[in-house]
Amino acid sequence: MKANFSAETLQAYQESSFSKVNDFYEYAQLLTNPTISNDLKEEIITAIFSLYKENYNASIINFLSSEKEKNFTR
């Protein structure tokens, strides 16, 4: 991979990846708050999918749900 990209490009990609993971973690923490409304939960889920918009057909497991349907899809 180093042969195809400069060190600066790899550094930027790494920082972007860390940022996405951190943002996802923060959104997941918000979803655990029992006082938020369903509308806000839907906005948070949309924000999570927007983090990975280049792969928008992805499924994300809803590890907070006790329901049979545990995947979010967009």
**Each residue's pLDDT tens digit, 20-60:** 899 999 999 998 899 999 999 999 988 888 887 765 555 66
Distance CA 49, CA 29 (A): 15
User: Quick one: 24 exposed, middle or buried, by C-beta within 10 A (0-12, 13-18, 19+)?
Assistant: middle
Between 34 and 72, the more confident residue is 34
**Would you place residue 66 in the very low, low, confident or very high pLDDT band (cuts 50, 70, 90)?**
low
Distance CA 70, CA 7 (A): 39
* pLDDT score recorded for residue 22: 93
